[in-house]
Amino acid sequence: MQAGTSIDAWLRAAPLDRLDARILLTHALGLTRMQLITQSERTLSVDEADRLAILVRRRIDGEPIAYILGSREFYGLSFDVTPDVLIPRPETELLVELALQYLPPNGRLLDMGTGSGAIAVAIAVNRPDAQVSALDCSAAALAVAQRNAEKHHAGVELLQSDWFGALGQRQFDLIVSNPPYIVSGDLHLSQGDLRFEPVDALTDHRDGLSALRQIVDGAGDHLCAAGWLFMEHGYDQAAAVRELAIAHGFADVQSWKDLAGIERVSGGRR
């Protein structure tokens, strides 16, 4: 689309989903949705048209909107995201809700495999009394998490660790995790947004349960008495994860459903 085209004409002719087109337009022009309406007859400058052309090509090539914009909303907060971290998704908000419900006053919480820090930061913002720690094996992911913690003035301790490796004897009142749980070779890994996300954060390159096994296996040593463990998992993994928790001696083991009615989080009490 050439310079001199009006905003309204660009929207009507854009080779994208209407919502995607509006999002890219507001991002490229620095306008709000209301301003797009009130300035619909405004014409695009050469620089604006070129900028939009680049964004449209990226989206046509399949790049996720979140990576193009560099941000995604999660639990009512805006988080910086890069291709070094997973894009936060609405179903993961269930982990935050459970943590806020079960974490005792002034409790200590650990988020394992924090990525962008979305879970840990959302909890810390909503529970300033809590001591929130978060770990990841990726230094690049932790750099993104650090930016997000600073952005929201959240008191989150960040640690580089391969699961429990760097924790020593530390214990917590509650542990949450959204680990890699997609089975190796799953067709979804080569489709949609997942093609652009860090593969090691999506799949364990095995049966989808190996990271969950490691977490359940080590959690008992790092949970206080009666401390809770909550883990996100795939749509068809709830029964297997409950069995893991029961086999490791957890009590009150159960699964919780997301807004789509899918058993998305399972866990129990030490």
In the chain, how many domains are there? 2
Confidence of residue 197 (pLDDT cuts 50, 70, 90): very high
Q: Measuring CA to CA, how many Å separate 79 from each of 13, 62, 69? A: 31, 21, 11
Contacts of 38 (CB under 8 A, 6+ apart): none
Instruction: Compute the mean pLDDT over every residue in the chain, rounded to the nearest whole number.
Output: 96
User: Do 45 and 96 reside in the same domain of the chain?
Assistant: no
Residues 90 and 42 in one domain: no
pLDDT digits (tens, 9 = 90+) for 228-249: 999 999 999 999 999 999 999 9
SS3 content of the chain, % helix, strand, coil (to 5): 45, 20, 35
Q: Please say whether the beta carbons of 134 and 120 come within 8 A.
A: yes
Q: What is the mean pLDDT of residues 161-176?
A: 97
CATH code of residue 123 = 3.40.50.150
Contact 92, 118 (CB under 8 A): yes
**With 70 as the cut, is the pLDDT of residue 2 above it?**
no
The residue segments making up the domain with residue 23 are: 7-61
Task: Determine, yes or no, domain membership for 193.
Answer: yes
Q: Does 254 have pLDDT greater than 70? A: yes
User: Which own/partner contact pairs does 154-159 have at CB distance under 8 Å and 24+ positions apart?
Assistant: 154/120, 154/121, 154/124, 154/125, 155/124, 155/128, 155/131, 156/117, 156/120, 156/121, 156/124, 156/132, 157/131, 157/132, 157/133, 158/114, 158/117, 158/133, 158/134, 159/133, 159/134, 159/135
pLDDT of residue 192 exceeding 70: yes
- Is residue 69 assigned to a domain? no
Give which of 140, 180, 144 is closest to 163, Cα–Cα.
Answer: 180
**Residue 124: inside a domain, yes or no?**
yes
Q: Which H/E stretch holds residue 133? A: strand 131-136
Question: What is the tens place of the pLDDT at every residue in 108-126?
Answer: 999 999 999 999 999 999 9
Residues 139, 189 share a domain: yes
Strands 251-257 and 263-269, bridge-based pairing:
antiparallel
What is the per-residue pLDDT for 37? 87
Domain check: are 50 and 182 in the same one?
A: no
Whether residues 32 and 114 share a domain: the answer is no
- Tell whether 156 is covered by a domain: yes
Q: Is the pLDDT of residue 3 over 90?
A: no
The answer to whether residue 212 scores a pLDDT higher than 70 is yes
Domain co-membership, 51 together with 162:
no
* Percent of all residues in the chain with a pLDDT value above 70, rounded to a whole number: 99
pLDDT above 90 as % of the chain:
94
54 and 162: one domain?
Answer: no
Residue 79's nearest CA partner among 113, 107, 45, 119 is 119
pLDDT computed for residue 1 by the predictor: 54
Indicate whether 202 and 237 sit together in one domain.
yes
Are both 56 and 182 inside the same structural domain?
no
Residues 130-147 have a mean pLDDT of 98
User: Which among 103, 245, 120, 106 has a CA at the least distance from the CA of 178?
Assistant: 120
In order of 71, 91, 119, 235, the CA distances from 260 in angstroms are 24, 8, 20, 10
Asked if residue 233 and residue 204 are part of one domain, the reply reads yes
Q: Is residue 1 part of a domain?
A: no
Mean pLDDT of 37-65: 93
Answer yes or no: do 40 and 98 share one domain. no
Q: Which residue type, as a one-letter code, is found at position 70? A: G
Q: What is the CA radius of gyration of the chain?
A: 21
**Same domain for 253 and 139:** yes
Does any domain span residue 220? Answer: yes
Query: Is residue 108, in this structure, part of any structural domain at all?
Result: yes
